[in-house]
Amino acid sequence: MKILSIETSCDDTAITIMEVKGKIKNALHGGQASFKILADSVDSQIKIHAGYGGVFPMLAKREHIKNLPILLEKVLKKSGLEKNKKITRRGGGPVDMIAVTYGPGLEPSLWTGIVFAKELAKKWNVPLIPVNHMEGHILSVYGKNKRSFKIPKINFPIISLLVSGGHTELILTKEWLKYEIIGHTLDDAAGEAFDKVARMMDIPYPGGPQISKLAEQERNSGHRVSTIEIKLPRPMMYSKNFDFSFSGLKTAVLYLIRRIGKLDEKTKMQIAMEFENAVVETLIYKTKKALEKYDAKTLIVAGGVSANKHLVKEINKSLKSKCEILFPGKGLSGDNAIMIGIAGYMQYINNKGKVPNPATIKAIGNLKLK
Ligand code: KG4
Ligand code: ZN
């Protein structure tokens, strides 16, 4: 089965064509289906939005509309399926199914992908599967790389720590494709806090990776003595639930910067390290509690922030003895269309091929996992 998947929920336009082979019926139970990425194309709008300090929705929409047909041509060409583009009288096109993100995200951006996908699905007469972007992030851990991979056997219950620019959630999964949100951020998402702290230090959007680099430099520098005390709070550490809050931490950084005045490179590195430590310690503390409470056998860590090296290292160090830990493969932690293809396929299999009427598919900006 060949799947074309489309992702336009935020500031990346992405289209993938993949082929799934194997005993499809057992795909949900692991080891049976294998995925091969035939073509993957992404157009990142980071440079366009950097000047606005964040994603500017109307600009994102305009870019998606411009990019989608270009990326489609690219993936059809690269996958060698271009010649199948013409439709015979019986219908049918280059792929057997289309998957598209329908939420959560920026609604104007989501609509561009949905409208494009609907037109293609109609033209090629193939099913259209709406995919929850966050389910895509969770299932992105199947993607070990951007070439080919198999669904591994996964033990339940699973706790997923989803950390992205828009979300920070702890999710309990007792059986595939069923989700119970047991904790979430009460204000800023972890990635958003990284980006906002970066902005306070004049680092352009998205500052998460750059803050992480500065923190790493400081960790490797042997911590030369500083005249300023740089200590930040660990928010919600001792609250009894699984919720997070990062806005107080962000404000603490703001006050710290105001107190210091002009920031030199060394001070920026120190703030970055202390901030990253505070976020990572908080995430791990709550995740550990959740793993223990639900006696989880697997931990999935996904979303843009799961690319953070310090988070990966500390999670492996402190939670490895508790359960198996899965991260997305290289290049699959941020937004991508490969994860949307995987999730679309899994939904298709789980619903035994029953597909929604395309007319009922609409963008849902605040879509929740359930
Ligand atoms: O999942 P994602 O690509 O988009 C959303 O769905 O939000 O996540 C993007 C977020 C941004 O806030 C970005 O700064 C953050 O992930 N991020 C990181 C790192 N790489 C990306 N944050 C901290 N450390 C990183 N290495
Ligand atoms: Zn995302």
Question: DSSP letters along 179-240, please?
Answer: -EEEEEBSS--HHHHHHHHHHHTTPPSS-HHHHHHHHHHHHHTT----SS------TTTT-S
The pLDDT score that the predictor gives to residue 213 is 97
Contact 191, 163 (CB under 8 A): yes
Instruction: Give per-residue pLDDT as tens, 207-245.
Output: 999 999 999 999 998 766 666 788 999 998 889 999 999
Contact 300, 245 (CB under 8 A): no
Angle in degrees, 0-180, between the axes of helices 265-293 and 208-220, rounded to the nearest 10: 100
Sheet holding 2-7, edge to edge: 128-132, 97-103, 2-7, 12-22, 33-44, 148-150
Instruction: Give per-residue pLDDT as tens, 14-27.
Output: 999 999 997 655 55
Kindly state the greatest CA–CA separation across the chain. Answer: 77
Q: Reduce the secondary structure of 92-122 to three states and give it as a string.
A: CCCCCEEEEEEECCCHHHHHHHHHHHHHHHH
| Strand blocks (E) in the chain | 2-7, 12-22, 33-44, 97-103, 128-132, 148-150, 158-163, 168-173, 180-184, 298-302, 324-326
Ligand 1: residue whose CA is nearest its atom 24 = 308
> Mean pLDDT, to the nearest integer, of 316-322?
95
The pLDDT score that the predictor gives to residue 113 is 98
Query: How far, in Å, is the centroid of ligand 2 from the Cα of 298?
Result: 21
Query: How far, in Å, is the centroid of ligand 2 from the Cα of 137?
Result: 7
Ligand 1: residue whose CA is nearest its atom 14 = 208
Ligand 1: residue whose CA is nearest its atom 10 = 165
* Range with the poorest average pLDDT among 50-54, 76-80, 274-278: 50-54
Share of the chain above pLDDT 90, in %: 79
| Residue 188 near ligand 1, beta carbon < 6 Å | no
Most confident of 10-14, 121-125, 180-184: 180-184
| Residue 303 near ligand 1, beta carbon < 6 Å | yes
- Distance (Å, whole) CA 343 – CA 332: 13
Predicted structure pTM score: 0.94
Pocket of ligand 1, candidates 305, 313, 332: which has the most ligand atoms within 8 Å of its Cβ, to mutate?
Answer: 305
Share of the chain above pLDDT 70, in %: 94
The pLDDT score that the predictor gives to residue 275 is 98
- Distance (Å, whole) CA 63 – CA 80: 26
Closest ligand (CA of 167): 1
Instruction: Give per-residue pLDDT as tens, 350-366.
Output: 888 899 999 999 999 99
The pLDDT score that the predictor gives to residue 319 is 97
